[in-house]
Amino acid sequence: MSRVFLIWAVKHSVKEVQNEDSVFLFVIAWTITEIIRYSFYTVSLLNHLPYIIKWARYTLFIVLYPMGVTGELLTIYAALPFVRQAGLYSISLPNKYNFSFDYYAFLTLVMISYIPLFPQLYFHTIHQRRKVLSRTEEHEKFD
């Protein structure tokens, strides 16, 4: 979901951030991650999973995940002044629906949500890595 959000609701919608280095940062992290992920899935379906692909799937995220998150946050941050100035996707009162929405505040809340969510997801993945790779190493000892 964050990828759709970042690509459409931030990068596509705020033309001024499209050439930011932060966009390059998260796109590179996402690209490498997907190449590894789908290589892992493909060779798993073929019942021939080389250890290097399993290792890459459960190790390279250590660098790629923070790199992607950094790029995402920097891109949102770069978009904030343009969102505020243009009032992008914002709805102000009064209106016939008696509803308001401030996209600037929403983006700020999205950025703040990374504080509790990122460590939780990152350490869950570290735990998964430990579990999967230690199981592989134990099997190799007996083979």
pLDDT for 4-56, tens place per residue? Answer: 999 999 999 999 999 999 999 999 999 999 999 999 999 999 999 999 999 99
Catalytic residue among 38, 41, 51, 72: 72
Is the N-terminal amide bond of 81 cis, ω within 30° of 0? no
Cα gap 28→63, rounded to integer Å: 12
Closest C-alpha among 111, 116, 112, 30 to residue 73: 111
Q: Residue 72 catalytic?
A: yes
pTM above 0.85, yes or no: yes
What does the domain layout of the chain look like in residue ranges?
A: 2-142
Q: Which residues is 76 bridged to in the sheet? A: none
Catalytic residue among 65, 77, 114, 122: 65
Q: Residue 89 catalytic?
A: no
